[in-house]
Structure 1
Amino acid sequence: FQDLFGVSMVVPLMNLHIKSLGASHTVAGIIGSLYGIMQLFSSTFVGCWSDIVGRRYSLLACILLSALGYLLLGTSTTVLLFAISRVPVGIFKHTLSISKALLSDLVSERDRPLVMGRFNAASSVGFILGPVVGGYLAELEDGFYQTSFICASIFLLNAGLVWLLPWSEENTGSRVHQQDSKGTDSFSPKANCDLHLKSATNGALPSESLFQSPWLQVVTVLKRIKGIACSDLWDILLVRLLMSVAILLYYSNFSLAMEERFGVKPLFSGYLISYSSALGVLAGCLLGPITRLYQHNTYRLLLHSSTLTCTLILLHASALSIWMIIFSSTFLAFSTTIGRTCIIDLELTIGGNEASGTLLGVGQSVTSVGRIIAPLLSGIAQEFSPCGPPSLGVGLALVAVLIMNMNKQKYCSHRSVKLKKK
């Protein structure tokens, strides 16, 4: 909550600040793109690094270096300083991914979707409240600088919480792994990850070697990334990419399309987006009952949510009245929230011997690719029609659903997809 609350206070104000420093639209766009590119290449490495050195130290390092970036942002009086301040944030702002990896280590497969849903719900609340507070602070004298310093202070507070909280990561993880590994022919990725982390043959590092073997850490990171690249995860990652781009296309020209199609003011579009975000929080809290309804079958839930997302984006693109837009936005908030949680759970489940931090890092890199591709596709599609971007999103989502159906036998035969009952 605090992480996204602090970030969402600053992010909406950044374009205004860099323009006030004299930067052109092109320079502002280049700096924004460089941040996305840094996130693209660093997320996999940082996630894998967290598997090697442990969640606590990697999380502390990422929080402190992100705090440094926002502190520098609060002192940026030139475009160059602004660009430099984005470097540590672009490389190390992976606190949410590491937190998710930690939760994956500590909870059972059965409870993982529920816990991830609640985690996403708490994060969404922070993202809803942050822009409101940031907008209020921006109206004060030197408001952007004050907002940046407050954001950095929030990150320092989070670092203190991480340091002070009792840590029994390995013991708790081992206990959960042992519980999950009972029974014949059972599939436990967390148990495999635990062995992967502790086994010297797999390149794991003991805690006393944390600061003594940097080169060994780099070699181990590269080995694990190679293992992911050679694994049987291509279809899951492709589905994640297609669905991410489809959803990004839906939101890419939302306000402009509403104004051109229905004459709706941007204020109403903002209220509608906030309404959808609030429903997304509710959807995260309801993941427990929904997963129980599906008997913890992650694949089936993901397939149905992706199909619903595709249908709702199609309804949005072909809507003849604003009420159809409101209707599609209402249920789209539920389907996208459920889909995001399920794709992460499916990655961790099917991933097998790969560690959770590496898997989440790779998944985040795939999403970053989508963030780079989506604006380009949106601009091209919008040349033809205001409904072009969501219509293209429908096609991509449909391809994702078809890929899942083509691999249905693989998922259904995999014992890990249907989580074990107590």
Structure 2
Amino acid sequence: MPRQESGTRAEARARGPGAIGARRFLLCLYLVGFLDLFGVSMVVPLLSLHVKSLGASPTVAGIVGSSYGILQLFSSTLVGCWSDVVGRRSSLLVCILFSALGYLILGASTNVFLFALARVPVGIFKHTLSISRALLSDLVAEKERPLVIGQFNAASSVGFILGPMVGGYLTELDGGFYLTAFICFSVFILNAGLVWLFPWCEAKLCSAEKGLPASKHPAPWGRTDGHGQEAATPRQSPAGARPARPPWLEVASTLRDMKSLIFSEMWDIFAVRLLMAVAVMLYYSNFVLALEERFGVRPRAAGYLISYSSALGALAGLALGPLLRLYGHDGRAVLLHSSALTCLLLLLHAAARSVAVAMLCSSLLAVSTAVGRTCITDLQLAAGGAQASGTVIGVGQSVTAVGRIIAPLLSGLAQEVSPCGPPSLGAALALVAIFIMSLNRARYGGGGGSDKFKKHHLNSTLYRQLCTKTIRTISVFQI
């Protein structure tokens, strides 16, 4: 027995340098996620103010925002498949550099045309966080994946919490928006340099030490070290049976999966997700602009409020455990009541006559939307079954992406009427979602709970969903 323990210690010492190198690589990747969201969150909350200063009407601004959402929807699958083929390093570098180009053009946008042009490269290539998560998934063992991705999301969330404060401060300087956009461009260039200087050999060693077969992960390493390796082969499925397909076939397959799921018995779940997503997006669409027009709140104070709300939403998990115990771990009832609270808060925010009421509504909305988003995702998983969980999650994200196309258009039309129009329309959409849930009380908390929605199933997703809460809030801001 002592001899065996001695061998174990010797093996641990032998693996020590590799483990340290792998940890260093992960920390570098966390830094990239932090800088990414720090840069964009300085700029994006200020876009509504800037496009108005260029003379664009709310409707034109909504059309530009919707075009960005369309580009994101159709480029996400293509960029993901492309990253499987050329490798994570090359795809991540290209996406960062083209996103930097978009923010550089934004920093020079003195008319609406340049503003719209600046959103094109960002709309197509701003998938840096998705590629980073795919890289993490390639690197670590499956049992460590939730923890590592959760840490990456948490590091990125810190960037989104700090960014609006810095951006709000800078924009009040002379030429502040252009300065902020240029700083965002500089942050992306710094990020590209970090990716270029990454210790990729240590990451490769990390993959080997964890016993991951080389055939499962050829894509990330096929073109990362720059020493004349052969072209990467597409990553195969875990079963190794299905070869990689061209990107257009992946898009067609995704659309077929979406159609079959949306028109299945889960239609009401996806309808609720779409309605609630659009409702919250409408609230955030003109948040900074509405605070200035209604209450005279300066961008600096609005940035502080956004950062505060983001931090509060990220901490909502502290109250979610006791809340679930109070409801007997009936997540459907929690979803119904959190949606009702969101609807009420949107109405109160639209009717607020003071900054204090608006701040209170913003604080509570950060919590209610975090809880509701967790419950709707888990309800999708419970209804779809374990074997279809990946498809269900993917379709749910596609439904949210469709909401990012619809919301800017609706927001622009509503702002033509009043600055209070977007949150008022959001409250109406949330009311429709509540009506759908009320018609399906057997699914949404109509007493008891089905066998599919067990306590352990909901708890297993709490950490993952709440770590990504701030990331999903960023999607609302059209980053």
Shared fold, TM over 0.5: yes
Please name the residue that 1:409 is paired with.
443
Contact 2:291–2:302 (CA<8 Å) still a contact in 1?
Answer: no
The aligned runs of 1:331-342 (5 Å cut-off) are 331-342=364-375
Q: Contact between 1:3 and 1:155, CA under 8 Å: does it hold in 2? A: yes
Cross-structure match for 2:297: 266
Aligned residue identity for 2:203: P
List aligned pairs for 1:177-188, cutoff 5 A: none
Q: Secondary structure at the match of 1:166?
A: helix
1:66 aligns with 2:88: no
Contact kept in structure 2, 1:117 and 1:285, CA below 8 Å: no
The one-letter code sitting in structure 2 at the alignment partner of 1:278 is Y
Between 164-173 and 391-400, report the one with greater CA deviation.
Answer: 164-173
1:177-256 superposed matches below 5 A: 197-201=237-241, 203-205=242-244, 216-231=246-261, 234-252=267-285
Whole-angstrom CA distance in 2 between matches of 1:304 and 1:172: 44
- Displacement of 1:53 in angstroms is 7.8
CA drift at 1:150:
0.7
> How many Å apart are 1:278 and its aligned residue?
1.0
Deviations 1:159-195 (A, max 9, x none): 3477647366799799xxxxxxxxxxxxxxxxxxxx9
| Superposed displacement of residue 301, structure 1 | 4.3
- 1:281 aligned partner, one-letter code: A
1:266 aligned partner, one-letter code: V
Give TM-score, length-normalised by structure 1: 0.67
**C-alpha distance in 1 between matches for 2:99 and 2:65:** 16
Counterpart Cα distance in 2 of 1:236 and 1:119: 31
In structure 2, the partner of 1:40 is 73
- Whether the 8 Å contact between 2:107 and 2:177 is mirrored in structure 1 is no
Distance change >3 Å, CA 87–CA 121, structure 1 → 2: closer
Inter-CA distance 279–160: structure 2 relative to 1 (3 Å threshold)? same
Superposition deviation, residue 91 in structure 1:
0.9
Q: Could you tell me which of 188, 203, 207 is aligned with 1:152?
A: 188
Call closer, same or farther: CA 1:242–1:118 in 2, change over 3 Å: same
Whether the 8 Å contact between 1:46 and 1:94 is mirrored in structure 2 is yes
After superposition, residues 328-367 of structure 1 pair within 5 angstroms as: 328-344=361-377, 350=384, 352-353=386-387, 356=390, 362-367=395-400
Residues 418 and 330 (structure 1), Cα distance of their counterparts in 2 relative to 1, 3 Å cut: same
Letter in 1 for 2:296: K
Q: Report the AA paired with residue 413 of structure 1.
A: D
Q: 2:171 aligns with which of 135, 146, 149?
A: 135
User: Which residue does the alignment assign to 1:5?
Assistant: 38
Would the alpha carbon gap of residues 101 and 251 (structure 1) be closer, same or farther in structure 2, given more than 3 Å must change? same
Give the conservation status (yes or no) of the 8 Å contact 2:35–2:156: no
Letter in 2 for 1:400: A
Q: Distance in 2 between matches of 1:141 and 1:237?
A: 37
Q: Count how many residue pairs are aligned between Structure 1 and Structure 2.
A: 388
Deviation of 1:99 (Å) = 4.7
Tell me the residue number matched to 2:203.
Answer: 166
Over residues 185-215 of structure 1, what are the superposed CA-to-partner deviations in whole Å (9 max), with x where a residue is unaligned? xxxxxxxxxx9922354x343xxxxxxxxx6
Equivalent of 1:374, from 407, 416, 421?
407
Mapped partners of 1:171, 1:302: distance in 2: 42
Confirm or deny that 1:312 pairs with 2:345.
Answer: yes
Larger Cα-atom Rg: 2
Aligned equivalents of 2:93, 2:380: Cα separation in 1: 25
1:368 & 1:392 partners in 2: Cα distance?
A: 19
Change (3 A) 1:230 1:281: same
Q: Cα–Cα, structure 1 residues 290 and 145, in superposed 2: closer, same or farther, change >3 Å? A: closer
Q: Secondary structure at the match of 1:409?
A: coil
- Match of 2:295, SS state, is coil
The 1:359/1:37 distance shift into structure 2, 3 A limit, reads: same
**Identity across matched positions, percent:** 46
- How far residue 242 of structure 1 moved from its aligned partner, in angstroms, is 0.8
SS of corresponding position for 2:237: helix
Counterpart of 1:266 in 2: which secondary structure? coil
Show CA shifts across 1:318-339 (max 9, x none): 5566544333222112112333
Matching residue of 1:183: none
The answer to whether the 8 A contact 1:306-1:401 is kept is yes
Alpha-carbon deviations, 1:131-169, whole Å to 9, x = none?
Answer: 146537874898467435413314314534776473667
